Amino acid sequence: MSFRVFGVKAWKFGGCILLRWLSGSKLSYDSWQIHFMTDKTDLKPTASITLRAAYPSEARTIASMSRLYIEHGLHWRWTPAKVKRHIRDKDTMVLVASRDAVIAGFAIMRFGDDQAHLFLLAVQPEFRRTGIGRSMMQWLEKSCRAAGIQQLRLEVRASNRGARLFYWQLGFWFLGQVAGYYDRREAAVIMVRSLNDPRPRFSSD
């Protein structure tokens, strides 16, 4: 459901309201706000977790998580400076899942005209298997639907079978493989999800 008020277009979905300035052509960090309402039925497994946009001051923590849990054994590309640029980028959402001021997980997605690209997603080990990863993906997917985006795309390390299974369970399909994508020594598996497809195969992550 969408409505307009004072030059702003708003969508209500998943217990949230997404606001976007009508003058903007794409989702913007500077022009949109996320408001959680009292009904959090979509987040029952992680009721104490808050999903929100990342602050620039959190770039170092997010970059460190990427280095530990995603880029381990590779050249560190998602440095604090790079993460901070994406936090400030108007076409990119850096989403964090926080509890008691602790970042439990994060995701970085860039919104295009018809396709959104998931760059990174990670959850701290002590918070895994609690639904946080799934909740972040659901939130991003609903944002894409509200913006009229039809397809999601991501790359994942070929050796990361757990991540590949996680995305497959969420409805992603294997599109192909790129040899040497990571530091010219590890292949990447390309996965896509059409938002016109049926709901994910399984509800757990």
Q: What is the CATH number of domain 43-194?
A: 3.40.630.30
**What is the model's pTM?**
0.76
Q: Of the residues 58, 71, 167, 182, which is catalytic?
A: 167
pLDDT of residue 7: 38
Our answer to whether residue 141 is catalytic in this structure is no
Catalytic: which of 141, 155, 182, 186? 155
* DSSP labels, the chain: -EEEETTEEEEEETTEEEEEETT-SS--TTT--EEE-S--GGGGGGTT-EEEEPPGGGHHHHHHHHHHHTSTTS---S-HHHHHHHHH-TTEEEEEEEETTEEEEEEEEEE-SSEEEEEEEEE-GGGTTSSHHHHHHHHHHHHHHHTT--EEEEEEETT-HHHHHHHHHTT-EEEEEEEEEETTTEEEEEEEEETTS-S-S-S--
The pLDDT of residue 197 is: 73
Active site residue 167: yes
Is the pLDDT at 115 greater than 80? The verdict is yes
pLDDT confidence tier of residue 200, bands split at 50, 70 and 90: low
Residue-range domain boundaries for the chain? 43-194
- Over residues 64-87, the mean pLDDT reads 97
